Structures are given as structure tokens and as C-alpha cells.
């Protein structure tokens, strides 16, 4: 029988152990130090003792002590008596006896909830049986070995009280010759126990192992929402005030109403007794922060969860601070301005689209497109009546000098509605409109002032294509940048604003610490644009004609200035290459008459000079005089073949230009043939000009209208 019972016990214990993972929290949380209890069991022997007994019962006292490191296991000590009572007839009473016993063992109990446990116990020990009526002369006794195993089903009405049902099996074995009562006994018992310890759910038992000190969060700004995700908003120091380690410490910060969930601050494996840690706090605010107005007092909560002597605990600490709305900032880091530059605003996109449409028929194809857009935006803002106005409450000159001063920057859409703004307001508006159409911008700071700059995308060594005066541009990472004094919008011309911007910057060439250039895209990697509730601005865009007129006057003046510089250089040097270069610039900027004059001047100096012949053909192409263009290109083709230069770059360009002419004349067969010759010499052309090998004007698409599909000019000698 023992061999059957023990395997059943082991199987039961294994099954219950598998459930331990799910219930381990209850076992740890509600563990106790020691329990004492009493138990009554009704006994039923499995064998016939050849004697009738009126009653079999077992009364005992039990002490259990869970293991501190594994509270589901507990050693136990049990002492009691087993009583066998016989009827007083037929000499049966002589077998009436009492067995006093003591057992030691081990038990397992898994707590599935605070009030329900299921477990098993196994124990063994020794007992002394006393037969008071067996021998009238003297009391007879017998020493027994006892083994017991069973299961316990316990209900715990409170932390300290437990009531259990205890089905079990006992095995008795006599060490004396009296073997009559050897064998198995089945029993069902009922017990009650008192457990020593303090209920962890009781108010006085709440764990407080951590002390909070040095907690601080300075004023926060809605515009810096993205910044606070990776950069600390404040600090707090936690100290372990216990005499033992606390473990698995998680620290987070939560602001009700402005966060979707707590933001994790730190995870600490362990804190030794008395050890303290200073922790940086972070905040992942949601879009609600952008809906605040003015200054909003808030109280956030630092939450710390940890294990104290294997018991889970949580402590919270409240911190108060002020949240400023999305227009506020301090000037401790000039990069913060980028948060107010909002190119994704649909209202700005619509306005920028209107601006581009205004002068689209007067765009100079060969000129810097970003520079032309910068001019258009400048005059479009003038047209709607935008003017510069100093902020009466917080002038930039005062705010910049004091990083603790809270300044206000209007969002671009608000400046467009109000039509006034100080230098920072106008800077973020101008940059936003430029960024909206994909133009890279920056903002420049000098003492007491901030203004805009943008990338012309012209290489630094080609400054004369932007302005003949090299000092009128800033060379940054191999590209030319143009500064714009945006406070002159509405009062001066773009060229005045450009010149003033460069002069303000050059004033501090000998004091670079006072020259600041901050690139919008780079700054927005840290300070992302603020969130917006986009609505229609109801903005009156003004007259396209007025925008176009101002734009044309400025671009013509600028082109005149550039071509004049090249013309003066050609006249001064008297060099055919200088005249050829002048012709190329004039042609790209749409000055075809000046270009033809310059190319003819170069040819008059050398009738065998091939470049101006090719370039005259390119001018005819731009003027849509394709037959005249072909004559020039074919002449160049013949000369190149005669001189054995059929693998030169110039020859490839001529073949490509001939292909384009035939394409425009809708002679697609010849266009494809010449393109095949060119691409055979330079395979990289196949993808860039693939439309030339296709039949029909419908194949042009955007590719044929792109700058890469325009006619090629030739400069320099092979």
C-alpha cells in the first residue's frame, strides 16, 4: 500500500508545483512566520482487527514553519493521540487502547488566492500504545512506527486564521510482538490554525522601504514635448531605509490628463541598506499639452515599485510644477526655435502653393530655385500686409540675454492671422514656408537678434551664379546660403534684406562666439515641431500680380548684376573662353540675345572654336528653333568625327542634343537612334534620358521636363 500511496503523493505534488508560477505572488505576499493548530480526525481502518470498535479518532496539535526563502514548503511537528474505544461486552473492552505519538514531516501548500490553499503533507514518527484493560495485573504497552500522508484543502477567513479539511492515510507498525493493529488507516480530518505575522493588506502593514528626497521639476514647456521623451524634466533621489536590500526597483513618472501611460525613468536591480540613487525623470506627454493656454499648475506623480523581502510594494510621490503653453520657451538653447517651425501645417502648404503659382510663368530655369522661392515668399508676405513689431511684453533683445526669462514665439499660422510679429515670430514663419516646399533653412542669431537663412543649393565655388560679391553669401558644407533680414518684410526690397542680413552677420566675423547658425532639420531631430489643431485660416492671399511684379523686378536686377559681372570679366580679359562662359550664363538665365552675341564674339576670335558653335545650337533649342539648332549640332558632330574625338564627352553631349531636337520635331526614330549612340558611349544616360528611346510625346512625363532633360551647354576644351 505504501508503494501505491507515495507515487500518488509525488504526482499530486508535481501537478501543484506547476501551478506555482501563477500563484507565487500570493505565496510570497501572504506568507507567515509560524502557525499552531489543533486537528480532529475520524479514522477508518482498511483491515479487520477481529474486534468491534465503537469509535476511532485522532486528536493532535500541529506546528508549521514555512521556509523563508520558499514559503510554499514548510517543516511540521505534530503530537497527539489516537483513541480506539470498544463496547463493554464479550470481553472486547480489553482491546480498548490509546496511542500517544509524535511526528515530524514536510508539507507543501500553494495559495491560489488570499483565502484558498491546496497542498499535501507527509510525516513519520513514533508512538506509544497503552492497553489499560488487557492485563488486570499491569498496564501493557507497545511501541509503534507511524507514517502519514495526505492533502490539505484550506480556507483562510483572515490572514491569521486557517480552517482546513485534511484527508489522509496513516500506516501503523508495531515494534512489539503484538501485530494485531498493524496496517493502513484512512482518515478525514478538520483543523484550525492560528498563523503569526501581520496581514500585508492591513494599513499598518503597508511597506515603506523608500524615502524620497531632493525631488524637483522646473517649469516645463508644451513646445518641448518631444524633447522631454529623451531628456530629463527633473530629478528625484530615493533611499533604502531598510536594514536589508530591496530589489527589482522600477521608477516612472505620470501626469494625469497629459499622458497615456507612465514614462519609465529607471530600473535598478538592487539598493543596499542606506544606499541612495538620484534618478532623472522623463515625460512622454500626449497631444493634450498643446491645448493648454498660459501657465497651467500641475502635480505629477513619481511611482516606485519594488520587492521588499520578496513582497511587492509600491510608493508614490507627488511633485508640483508649471506647464507653459505651446508658444512659450526660454533661450537657454537657441535650437529650441526649431520646435515652432511647422512645415507640415496644411494652411502653410496651401499658402506656399499659392505663392509658387503666382510667378510660375516668370521663373528663370537656370537660376537657383531656392533663391527664387525665397524672393517669392518675401514679397508674398509683404502683399498680405505682414509687418515687424517688437513684442511689448518680452522683446527678443531682453529674452536672449537671460536664459531664465520665459519668452513667447507665435506659431506661423498665428502670425499669419495677426499679420505682425517680432524677429523670432517672422523667422519661424519665413522658415516654415520655405521648408514647406522642401528648401533647407536655418536661423541666425547675433546679439539681440534672430533672422532667417536658406540653402541656395549652389556649390560654394560657383558663388558668381548667385551674386558677383563672394561676401554676399555664406559657404556652409560646400553650399551657398543666403541670409534674409526678415524684419524688413513690407518696408524694403528682398535685396536690401539680403544685404542687411549678411552685414549683420559679417559684423561679428572677428567675434565668432556671437555668430550663431542653427539648421532647422538638425535642430528638429531634438525639438520636433509642436502639434497643431489645424483649421482654415481664412487668409486673404492678396494679388498675384503684385507678388509677380516685385519678384520680376528683383530677379531681373539680380540677373543683370550677375551677367554684368561676367560681361565685364570677358571685356577685361578679351578671352574667347570668357565670352563663351558669358554666353552660357546669359542663355541659362533666359537672356538669349546676349548669349548669341557673346557666342558670336567668341567665334570671331577663333572660327575653329567648337564650343560656341555647339552652344549657339543650344540657344536655338531653348528658343524652340529646332532646325537651326540641328544645323549647329550636326556641324559640331562632323568636326568632332573628323578630328577623331568620337569618344569625347563633348561628342556624347552633341549626340544627346541632336536626339532631343529630333524628339521635339517628333522624329522619334532618329531621336532613338542618336540616343542609342550616346548611351552606348555612356551607359549612365540610359536611365536619365530614357524617354528619348520611346516613341510618342506621351512618353515624356515629368522626366523630359526636368532639368536633366534640358539641352546641354559645352564649356572648356577636351
Cell 536589508, residue? Answer: 244
Q: Which of 452, 603, 429 is nearest to 519 (CA)?
A: 452
Distance CA 265, CA 547 (A): 53
Cell 551674386, residue? Answer: 467
Grid coordinates representing 713?
551647354
The CATH number of the domain where 702 resides is what?
A: 1.25.40.10
Classify residue 537 by its DSSP letter. Answer: -
| Sign of the four-CA dihedral 374, 375, 378, 380 | negative
Do residues 138 and 188 both lie within one domain?
Answer: yes
Do residues 377 and 294 both lie within one domain?
Answer: no
Return the pLDDT at 397.
60
Do residues 507 and 366 both lie within one domain?
Answer: yes
Return the pLDDT at 27.
87
Run means of pLDDT, 10 residues per run, the chain, 718 residues:
44 44 68 92 80 78 92 93 78 78 94 92 92 73 90 92 93 85 88 87 74 94 94 96 93 96 96 95 94 94 91 92 93 93 93 93 92 97 92 62 79 93 95 97 94 97 94 96 96 96 95 94 93 77 93 95 95 93 94 95 93 94 94 93 90 94 92 93 88 65 46 73
Q: Which of 258, 305, 266, 298 is nearest to 282 (CA)?
A: 266
Q: Are strands 420-421 and 387-388 parallel, antiparallel or unpaired?
A: parallel
Do residues 513 and 618 both lie within one domain?
Answer: no
Do residues 178 and 239 both lie within one domain?
Answer: no
Cα-Cα-Cα-Cα torsion 595, 599, 604, 609, nearest 10 degrees, comes to: 180
Is 593 part of a structural domain of the chain? no
- Report pTM: 0.70
**Of 148, 166, 196, which closes a domain?**
196
Is 497 part of a structural domain of the chain? yes
Do residues 70 and 11 both lie within one domain?
Answer: yes
Is 600 part of a structural domain of the chain? no
**Of 150, 173, 196, which closes a domain?**
196
Do residues 341 and 451 both lie within one domain?
Answer: yes
* Separate counts of helices (H) and strands (E) for the chain: 19, 25
The strand order across the sheet containing 441-446 reads: 474-476, 479-484, 449-459, 441-446, 516-519
Return the pLDDT at 703.
46
Distance CA 453, CA 500 (A): 12
Residue 355: CB atoms within 10 A of its CB come to: 25
Q: Which of 473, 353, 313, 345 is nearest to 410 (CA)?
A: 345
Distance CA 236, CA 257 (A): 22
Q: How many domains are there within the chain?
A: 4
- Over its C-alpha atoms, the chain yields an Rg (Å, rounded) of 47
Residue 513: CB atoms within 10 A of its CB come to: 6
Distance CA 58, CA 62 (A): 12
In b/e form, how buried is each residue of 243-256, taking b as 16+ CB within 10 angstroms?
Answer: eebbeebebbbbbe
Do residues 154 and 87 both lie within one domain?
Answer: yes
| Sign of the four-CA dihedral 493, 380, 345, 291 | positive
Is 298 part of a structural domain of the chain? yes
Beta strands in 156-182 (DSSP E): 161-174
Q: Which of 376, 690, 657 is nearest to 542 (CA)?
A: 376
| Sign of the four-CA dihedral 633, 638, 639, 645 | positive
Grid coordinates representing 635?
556641324
Burial class (CB in 10 A: 0-12, 13-18, 19+), 257: exposed
Is 599 part of a structural domain of the chain? no
The CATH number of the domain where 474 resides is what?
A: 3.10.620
User: Which H helix or E strand runs over 686?
Assistant: helix 685-688
**Of 168, 196, 224, which closes a domain?**
196
Return the pLDDT at 717.
55
* Distances in whole angstroms, Cα of residue 589 to Cα of each of 357, 364, 660, 671: 20, 6, 20, 27
* Distances in whole angstroms, Cα of residue 430 to Cα of each of 359, 420, 678: 18, 13, 44
Is 254 part of a structural domain of the chain? yes
Do residues 353 and 498 both lie within one domain?
Answer: yes
User: What does the DSSP assignment read for 258-317?
Assistant: T-SSPEEEEEEEEE-TT-EEEEEE-----GGGGG--SEEEEEEEEEEEEEETTEEEEEEE
Return the pLDDT at 718.
44
Domain that holds residue 706: 608-718
The CATH number of the domain where 118 resides is what?
A: 2.40.160.20
Return the pLDDT at 22.
45
The secondary structure of the chain in percent helix, strand, coil, rounded to multiples of 5, reads 40, 30, 30
Is 367 part of a structural domain of the chain? yes
Do residues 113 and 178 both lie within one domain?
Answer: yes
Specify whether the CB–CB gap between 479 and 488 falls below 8 A. Answer: no
* Distances in whole angstroms, Cα of residue 379 to Cα of each of 90, 327, 686: 128, 26, 41
Q: What angle do CA 172, 176, 182 make, to 5 degrees?
A: 25
| Sign of the four-CA dihedral 365, 371, 375, 380 | positive
Do residues 276 and 341 both lie within one domain?
Answer: no
Cell 522623463, residue? Answer: 282
Residues 6+ apart with CB under 8 A from 483: 444, 451, 452, 453, 474, 498, 501, 502, 504, 505
The CATH number of the domain where 296 resides is what?
A: 2.60.40.730
Distance CA 431, CA 479 (A): 18
Specify whether the CB–CB gap between 329 and 339 falls below 8 A. Answer: yes
Is 223 part of a structural domain of the chain? yes
Specify whether the CB–CB gap between 246 and 271 falls below 8 A. Answer: yes
Return the pLDDT at 212.
95
Do residues 98 and 119 both lie within one domain?
Answer: yes
Amino acid at each position: 500500500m505504501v508503494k501505491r500511496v507515495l507515487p500518488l503523493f509525488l504526482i499530486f505534488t508535481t501537478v501543484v508545483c506547476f501551478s506555482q508560477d501563477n500563484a507565487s505572488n500570493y505565496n510570497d505576499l501572504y506568507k507567515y512566520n509560524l502557525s499552531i493548530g489543533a486537528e480532529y480526525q475520524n479514522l477508518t481502518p482498511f483491515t479487520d482487527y477481529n474486534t468491534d470498535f465503537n469509535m476511532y479518532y485522532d486528536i493532535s496539535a500541529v506546528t508549521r514553519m514555512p521556509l523563508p526563502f520558499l514559503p510554499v514548503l514548510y517543516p511540521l511537528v505534530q503530537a497527539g493521540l489516537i483513541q480506539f474505544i470498544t463496547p463493554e461486552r464479550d470481553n472486547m473492552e480489553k482491546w480498548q487502547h490509546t496511542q500517544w505519538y509524535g511526528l515530524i514531516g514536510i508539507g507543501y501548500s500553494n495559495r491560489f488566492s488570499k483565502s484558498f490553499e491546496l497542498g499535501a503533507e507527509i510525516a513519520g514518527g513514533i508512538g506509544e500504545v497503552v492497553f489499560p484493560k488487557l492485563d488486570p495485573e499491569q498496564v501493557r504497552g507497545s511501541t509503534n512506527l507511524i507514517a502519514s500522508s495526505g492533502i490539505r484543502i484550506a480556507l483562510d477567513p483572515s490572514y491569521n486564521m486557517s480552517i482546513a479539511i485534511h484527508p489522509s492515510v496513516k500506516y501503523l507498525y508495531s515494534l512489539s510482538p503484538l501485530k494485531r493493529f498493524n496496517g493502513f488507516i484512512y482518515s478525514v480530518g478538520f483543523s484550525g490554525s492560528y498563523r503569526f505575522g501581520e496581514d500585508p493588506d492591513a494599513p499598518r502593514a503597508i511597506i515603506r522601504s523608500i524615502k524620497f528626497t531632493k525631488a524637483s521639476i522646473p517649469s516645463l514647456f508644451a513646445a518641448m514635448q518631444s524633447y522631454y521623451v529623451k531628456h530629463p524634466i527633473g530629478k528625484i533621489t530615493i533611499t533604502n531605509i531598510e536594514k536589508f536590500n530591496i530589489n527589482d526597483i522600477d521608477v516612472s513618472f505620470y501626469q494625469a490628463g497629459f499622458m497615456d501611460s507612465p514614462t519609465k525613468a529607471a530600473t535598478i536591480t538592487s539598493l543596499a541598506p542606506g544606499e541612495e540613487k538620484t534618478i532623472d525623470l522623463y515625460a512622454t506627454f500626449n497631444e493634450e499639452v498643446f491645448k493648454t493656454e498660459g501657465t497651467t499648475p500641475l502635480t505629477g506623480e513619481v511611482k516606485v515599485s519594488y520587492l521588499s523581502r520578496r513582497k511587492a510594494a509600491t510608493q508614490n510621490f507627488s511633485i508640483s510644477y508649471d506647464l507653459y503653453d505651446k508658444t512659450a520657451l526660454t533661450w537657454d538653447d537657441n535650437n529650441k526655435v526649431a520646435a515652432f517651425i511647422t512645415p507640415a501645417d496644411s494652411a502653410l502648404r496651401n499658402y506656399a502653393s499659392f505663392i509658387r503659382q503666382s510667378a510660375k510663368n516668370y521663373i528663370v530655369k537656370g537660376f537657383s530655385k531656392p533663391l527664387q522661392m525665397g524672393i517669392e515668399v518675401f514679397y508674398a508676405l509683404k502683399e498680405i500686409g505682414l509687418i515687424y513689431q517688437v513684442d511689448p511684453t518680452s522683446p527678443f533683445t531682453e529674452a536672449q540675454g537671460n536664459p531664465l526669462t520665459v519668452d513667447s514665439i507665435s506659431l506661423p499660422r498665428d502670425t499669419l492671422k495677426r499679420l505682425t510679429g517680432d524677429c523670432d515670430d517672422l523667422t519661424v514663419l519665413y522658415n516654415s514656408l520655405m521648408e514647406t516646399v522642401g528648401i533647407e533653412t536655418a536661423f541666425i542669431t547675433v546679439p539681440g537678434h534672430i533672422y532667417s537663412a536658406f540653402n541656395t543649393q549652389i556649390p560654394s565655388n560657383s558663388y558668381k551664379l548667385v551674386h558677383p560679391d563672394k561676401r554676399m553669401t555664406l559657404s556652409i558644407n560646400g553650399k551657398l546660403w543666403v541670409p534674409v533680414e526678415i524684419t524688413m518684410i513690407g518696408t524694403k526690397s528682398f535685396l536690401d534684406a539680403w544685404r542687411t542680413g549678411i552685414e549683420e552677420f559679417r559684423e561679428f566675423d572677428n567675434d565668432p562666439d556671437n555668430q550663431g547658425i542653427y539648421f532647422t532639420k538638425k535642430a528638429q531631430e531634438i525639438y520636433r515641431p509642436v502639434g497643431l489643431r489645424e483649421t482654415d485660416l481664412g487668409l486673404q492671399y492678396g494679388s498675384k500680380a503684385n507678388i509677380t511684379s516685385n519678384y520680376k523686378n528683383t530677379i531681373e536686377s539680380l540677373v543683370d548684376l550677375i551677367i554684368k559681372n561676367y560681361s565685364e570679366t570677358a571685356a577685361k580679359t578679351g578671352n574667347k573662353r570668357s565670352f563663351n562662359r558669358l554666353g552660357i550664363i546669359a542663355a541659362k538665365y533666359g537672356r538669349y540675345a546676349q548669349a548669341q552675341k557673346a557666342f558670336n564674339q567668341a567665334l570671331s576670335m577663333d572660327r575653329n572654336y567648337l564650343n560656341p558653335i555647339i552652344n549657339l545650337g543650344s540657344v536655338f533649342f531653348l528658343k524652340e528653333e529646332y532646325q537651326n539648332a540641328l544645323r549647329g549640332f550636326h556641324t559640331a558632330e562632323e568636326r568632332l568625327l573628323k578630328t577623331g574625338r568620337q569618344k569625347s564627352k563633348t561628342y556624347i553631349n552633341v549626340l544627346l542634343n541632336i536626339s532631343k531636337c529630333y524628339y521635339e520635331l517628333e522624329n522619334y526614330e532618329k531621336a532613338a537612334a542618336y540616343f542609342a549612340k550616346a548611351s552606348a558611349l555612356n551607359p549612365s544616360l540610359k536611365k536619365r534620358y530614357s524617354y528619348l528611346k520611346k516613341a510618342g510625346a506621351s512618353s515624356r512625363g515629368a522626366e523630359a521636363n526636368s532639368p536633366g532633360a534640358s539641352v546641354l551647354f559645352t564649356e572648356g576644351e577636351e
